[in-house]
Chain A
């Protein structure tokens, strides 16, 4: 296993987690439950290839779609609570999913190996990639293809009227409703999309690592996902991408410091929150960048 490719794979997967938090955050919803969607995507896509013998693509689509449907269902109770309360409620959802997978056993003998989620032992031998003879670099390509597709989708959303409605709902729900926005539909849609994207991350992860267990979809993953979006910034989806790249590079780069790196990590979060509460790529940054491009484009248009 090549180290740079491994780090790049993890970064790609965590970009999806960060973007999934971003999608709900721009409608004003704080979610500490993204690891729940991620777990659903991972376990179901893994079951698809390892137990049912599906091809990788339909298996990933299956896990991802179910995660999206669960996101849709989570979206409705989420309408009732806001802010930190929603953060706690969504974390409760994540814990429910984790505990379900801690207790579910659904295994099958494939050749000489027992395959499938097996309670606390986790889900071993999701070895589609390695049995299929794909290299890690090839699978890295698959991961980044998925990241590119999601980024393109979110890019289109940002430029659309719907994207502006997302942000309007974050800022003032009553004013958004008075502008004719169906606030319920926007918030539920955001949770659906976010469940879909986090589920995709999980589905890609399980085929990369060949293994997943309940411990890997617990609170630390929830905090990491929120941190990517918050530090990277809520002005654009590029914030969540930047956040994932920065923080994973940093934790890998500081690995020699062992436990101390978490202290630096925590300090960085505090510093960012104090000086840039909307993250590195905030709305003001995006606006200045756009103005810069427009000024450069203007003389060309004139000539």
Chain B
């Protein structure tokens, strides 16, 4: 579905992504882990057209999106949430999701129903007239998800969706993600919370200094010595 070939992105003298090859297949939950600064969010930014790549090719469903602009990529069916919450705080909860709604031209009433459906799924329906800036942290995260879903993505990029969440909230998120996959969405997530990654991912890739260190099932990744050294080992040592 999403094919990344030889992707390179530099910032000044730093190579954030170095000749990265990656495939996300339709219908799977694909997770990417890696230490801070390993290039995970940069990858999302390049995929969504926030920064152009310096080399390499990105295709989505066979279409080259390497040079496409963000809103064009969104229209092709890629949705995204951000690592740090980026809502429109001065718009209402309803408006946040409404403006992202993919235009179908079937009238305001149908649009309202679709937004309310999304807000029901993200348990925000009773907050729809509130300013987004007045929501609590968990609600803001869920509204970001609702906004991303409003664009009707076939591929959903989640950038650390569980960051700062309590254990119970993470469990809810796992259910939400599995429910989304059941409706046919492909999910590509970046995460540090291992409960989430190991609990939902079909496949995992490990990124380190802009290069792919390993790729495989959760079990394979957990037993890969290079991964343990670069990433999990460090965490295990602290635990």
Contact = CB atoms under 8 A, between A and B. Distances in A.
Interface string B59-91: 000000000011100110001101000111111
A164 B71 contact: no
A175 B99 contact: no
Residue with the greatest number of chain A CB neighbours at <10 A, chosen from B75, B86, B95, B99: B99
A161 interface: yes
A178 B70 contact: yes
A283 B90 contact: yes
28 contacts: A161-B99, A161-B101, A164-B88, A164-B95, A165-B99, A167-B88, A167-B90, A167-B91, A168-B88, A171-B88, A172-B86, A175-B82, A175-B88, A177-B70, A177-B74, A178-B48, A178-B74, A178-B79, A178-B82, A179-B99, A179-B147, A179-B150, A180-B99, A180-B100, A180-B151, A181-B99, A283-B131, A294-B129
Given A165-B99, A168-B99, A182 B71 contact: yes
A20 B93 CA distance: 28
B54 interface: no
A177 B98 CA distance: 14
A287 interface: yes
A182 B69 CA distance: 9
Interface residues of B, number: 31
Given A167-B91, A176-B99, A177-B50, 4 more contacts: A174-B50, A177-B74, A178-B48, A179-B100
A204 interface: no
Nearest to B82: A175
Contact of A175 (B87, B98, B101): B87
A164 B70 contact: no
Interface in B126-168: 129, 131, 147-148, 150-151
A176 B100 CA distance: 8
Q: Is the interface of B mostly helix, strand, loop or mixed?
A: loop
B102 interface: yes
A193 interface: no
B74 A164 contact: no
Contacts of A181: 71, 99
A291 B70 CA distance: 35
A172 B71 contact: no
B131 A164 contact: no
A164 B91 contact: yes
Contact of B70 (A168, A174, A287, A294): A174
Given A161-B98, A283-B131, A287-B131, A177 B88 contact: no
Residue with the greatest number of chain B CB neighbours at <10 A, chosen from A175, A177, A294: A175
Interface residues of A, number: 23
A90 to B, nearest CB: 23
A179 B147 CA distance: 7
Contacts of A16: none
A180 B88 contact: no
A183 interface: yes
Interface string A65-76: 000000000000
Contacts, number: 71
B91 A168 contact: yes
A180 B102 contact: yes
A76 to B, nearest CB: 15
B203 to A, nearest CB: 25
Nearest to B151: A180
Given A161-B98, A164-B98, A165-B99, A177 B89 contact: no
Nearest to A278: B90
Interface in A259-287: 283-284, 287
B121 to A, nearest CB: 17
A167 B98 CA distance: 13
Residue with the greatest number of chain B CB neighbours at <10 A, chosen from A177, A181, A182, A290: A177
A181 B82 CA distance: 16
Interface string A149-166: 000000000000100110
Nearest to A169: B88
Nearest to A291: B129
A180 B74 contact: yes
Nearest to B90: A283
Contacts of A175: 82, 86-88
A47 B150 CA distance: 50
Interface in A28-66: none
A176 B95 CA distance: 12
Given A161-B98, A175-B82, A283-B131, A180 B71 contact: yes
Residue with the greatest number of chain A CB neighbours at <10 A, chosen from B75, B90, B95: B90
B82 A179 contact: no
A157 to B, nearest CB: 13
B65 to A, nearest CB: 14
B151 A179 contact: yes
A174 B50 CA distance: 7
Contacts of B70: 174, 177-178, 183
Contacts of B90: 167, 171, 283
A181 B98 CA distance: 11
